[in-house]
Amino acid sequence: MKYRSLFGLLIFFTIVFQAQSQGAETSLERGFEIAPAENFILHSDEIDQDFGISITLPKDFSPDNSYPLIVFTDANQNYLSTSLSETNTDGLQELTQTLLANGAIPKVVLVGIGYPARNYRVRDLTPVQIPNQPKDMSGGAHKFAIFIETEVKPFIYSKVQIDRMNETYLGHSHGGLFGAYVLFNKPELFDNYVLSSPSFWYGRSLNGNGEGTSFSFEEQYRRNNTDMAKSVFISMGSEEGGTMAWDAKRMHDRLESRNYKSLRLGWMLFEGESHMSVVRPAFAEGLSFIFEGR
């Protein structure tokens, strides 16, 4: 594993490094520039590719303290940066500051994973490869999870003290799909999971029963485990409709029916919200649920 921090600007007492990839492709729709954050290029030996890693510290950060960790994927997407789509008013950094000010969450270290060049989110966030597609187009969730475990987390731990009993994954759409894959196949990677509008329909055409692959992974987990000592929050927007909304509620109900003694499970349907407009309220409610009572 190799990393390189490129250049920094001092903005309101926060060091900001804007990562640039050497010889990077120009197909990235949104540059990897997340402020205020310290941004790095991290080369993955597991995937043999450069990734963008943003680390946002609490405003009064102290190196002597340990902090809960929130890791989010899709760090290039507008709804997770400070350059926002029309449907959202706050970036994720501002959202966590608002939740902190309201007493909903503690001070946290916020880490985003993105792409300095070509965006491979579909490859990295989907659990199985779709037939007749190139290998770099889908089915990379297993390798991506290993990358987070063996390269991203050690990189974070080398820079800041983390409360390793309080690590949260935050994902939307395919990011929620990836979170479910990790929950059922590598649950020890995180303690808490916020799954916003997860793409549980993914892989439906591959299963004879018509279910997405996430349901197969859940069934496999159930056969091999008697408990799930996690906090999990699943949500959807009412305007998303169709298979996506149905599958999300069905996954919640299935987990609820398992009666896992140690599972904290939350669900919310956000009235009037679409696939994009739901992100901010879903993340706000999800994080508030995760940190409730902690």
**pLDDT band, residue 51 (cuts 50/70/90):** very high
**In this predicted model, what pLDDT tens digit does every residue of 226-236 receive, in sequence order?**
999 999 999 99
**pLDDT band, residue 131 (cuts 50/70/90):** confident
Higher pLDDT, 154 or 88: 154
Alpha helices in the chain (DSSP H): 92-101, 121-125, 141-147, 153-157, 174-185, 213-224, 242-257, 279-291
**pLDDT band, residue 17 (cuts 50/70/90):** very low
The amino acid sitting at 99 is: L
| Inter-helix orientation angle 174-185/213-224, to 10° | 20
* CA nearest to 233, candidates 281, 188, 285: 285
- List the helix and strand counts (H, then E) for the chain: 8, 11
Ranking 92-96, 110-114, 259-263, 277-281 by mean pLDDT, the lowest is: 92-96
Is the pLDDT reported for residue 28 higher than 50?
no
Contact 236, 278 (CB under 8 A): yes
How many residues are given for the chain?
294
The amino acid sitting at 12 is: F
What integer best gives the mean pLDDT of the chain? 83
Q: What's the alpha-carbon Rg for the chain, to the nearest Å?
A: 18
Token pair belonging to 218? 């859940």
Phi/psi for 264 (5° steps) reads -100, 115
pLDDT given for residue 209 in this prediction: 64
How would you class 170 by CB atoms within 10 Å of its CB: exposed for 0-12, middle for 13-18, buried for 19 or more?
Answer: buried
SS3 at position 140: coil
CA distances from 263 to 120, 229, 231, 270 (A): 32, 5, 6, 23
For the chain, list the domains and their CATH numbers: 2-291 (3.40.50.1820)
**pLDDT band, residue 1 (cuts 50/70/90):** low
- Token pair 């799954």: residue: 195
Share of the chain above pLDDT 90, in %: 66
**pLDDT band, residue 94 (cuts 50/70/90):** confident
> What is the rounded distance in angstroms from the CA atom of residue 179 to the CA atom of residue 181?
5
**In this predicted model, what pLDDT tens digit does every residue of 57-86 receive, in sequence order?**
988 899 999 999 999 998 876 444 433 333
Average pLDDT, integer, range 84-100: 67
pLDDT given for residue 206 in this prediction: 72
* CA nearest to 119, candidates 28, 26, 25, 22: 28
